[in-house]
Every structure is written in C-alpha cells, then in structure tokens.
Structure 1
Amino acid sequence: MSDLALFAARLLIGALLIGGAVQKITSPAGAGGLLVDAGLPFALIWPALVYDALAGLALWLGVAVRPVAASAAAYCALTSFFHLNVFLTTGDPWQMTIFVKNWAIAGGCLALAVAGSGAWALRADAR
C-alpha cells in the first residue's frame, strides 16, 4: 500500500509542476506579467518553465525522486515569497492562497524526499 501511496504522491505533485509548465508555455504573459510587476525580469519565466517540466517528469517517471523532491520543496518555498509579496502590494487574496498552497506542496515534497520513489519507479530509490 505504501508503494501505491508514493506513486500517487509523485503523480499528483508532478501534475502540479507539469501544469505550471503548460501554463507558462501556453500563456507566458500571465506569469511573466506578475514577474515584471514585482520588478523581476520577464525572462525568469523560461527557467521556471524548464524546471517545472523536468521536475514534474522526473517525479512521474520516478527518477532521482529524493533530490528532485527536495529541490521542488525549496522551489515552492522560494516562490511562495514572491506570491506573498504580490499579495502585500496588491491585496489580491488569490496570491495568499497560492502562498499557503506552496508551503503545503513543499511539505509533500519533503515527505517524498524522505520516503523516496517507492517501488513503482523507472529508477527506484534505495530503501
């Protein structure tokens, strides 16, 4: 049962990252506009897109799950402060929701970083 739960966790967190990549590639103006409004360069959207896509695929496939999940936890924690800043400057309540959501996802990523891939992985982590 734990292998199934780890597989489901990888799929769900990976889907969130892949979804972020798809959103950035199909509508870069949305996320890019938020970056520019925060005084950051629009071009930061492209490395974020690449990271989202590669990390999501790695989790889906079960490749390097521990380091990828640890990096995703840090990525979610770091980007949460961006959303907190947008909330504080605009008052947009959706940004506070994203801030809290990112911390919850970081927690799930940390759990994956500790537990590893489970057995259902292209390259399962050692137990």
Structure 2
Amino acid sequence: MKHPMLCDTSKLIGRVLMSLLFIFAGWNKIGGYEMTEAFLVSMGIPGLVLPLVIVVELVGGLAVLLGLFTRIAAFILFLFCFAAAGLVHLSPGDAVEMTSFMKNITIAGGFLILACAGAGRFSLDHWIRDK
C-alpha cells in the first residue's frame, strides 16, 4: 500500500480490530473475577497478578483503540501476548491450546509491528503531535 490515506485507514481498522479483543477480555475478567483468578492459580500463576492483567488489557486496549501512546501500549501488549502464550497456552500435547498459543504469538507480532509503525494519522498521537 503506497497511498498514505489507505495506510492510515488500514492502521485505524487494524487498531480497532486488535484492541476490541483486549477491551472485552479485560471487562469480562472483572465480571468473572473469582473464576479468572481460580484459573490463573490452576495454571501456577499467582492470583495477585489478575488486577495487573485487567489493567494491561483494558488500558492497553483503549490506548491502542484511541491511538494514544500507541507505541508504548502496543509494545506492552506485545510482551503481554508473548508471556500469555508461554505461561498459559504452551501445551504441545493439546491441539486446542497450541492453536491459542499460535494465535497469541501472531497477535504479539501484530502489536510489535504497530509499536514500530505507530498509530497513523487517525489517532490521538497524531493529533497531539501536530497541535
């Protein structure tokens, strides 16, 4: 894509699609806090990290959606996805978990690209920078 408007529009659509997963996931973890905490503990992850997970998902997702501090938020979500893949979904004998592992790795790659490329013209980052 060489046309700047098409690239900026694509970045906006990509940000929306990537962020919705994390906004909804963070919100759902609040509603199912005890169940999510029990799941983390069953995976050997201390339940005390759940508030951090919720903040990363909600705040990071909203930041990417709005294009605000996009590079930082995308990099944090890259690390989050990569860690979640390894800590929660890496189970070579389980095809379903390995599919989730690969999806997390793929999403991490998308966030890494976003961290490098930035949010584009249709973002608060762009609006703030050009003010």
What TM-score results when the alignment is normalised by the length of structure 1?
0.86
Deviation at 1:41, TM superposition (A): 1.8
1:82 and 2:84 correspond = no
CA distance in structure 2 between the aligned counterparts of 1:121 and 1:97, rounded to whole angstroms: 32
How many pairs were matched up? 123
Q: Report what 2:30 is aligned to.
A: 25
Deviation at 1:92, TM superposition (A): 4.9
> Kindly, what percent of the aligned residue pairs are identical?
31
Q: RMSD value over aligned CA atoms?
A: 1.8
CA distance in structure 2 between the aligned counterparts of 1:32 and 1:6, rounded to whole angstroms: 34
CA distance in structure 1 between the aligned counterparts of 2:103 and 2:73, rounded to whole angstroms: 19
CA distance in structure 2 between the aligned counterparts of 1:105 and 1:16, rounded to whole angstroms: 10
What TM-score results when the alignment is normalised by the length of structure 2?
0.84
**1:114 maps to amino acid:** C
CA distance in structure 2 between the aligned counterparts of 1:118 and 1:51, rounded to whole angstroms: 22
Larger RCO, structure (CA 8 Å, separation 6 or more) = 1
2:102 to 100, 103, 126: 100
Deviation at 1:84, TM superposition (A): 3.3
Q: Report what 1:111 is aligned to.
A: 113
Larger Rg: 2
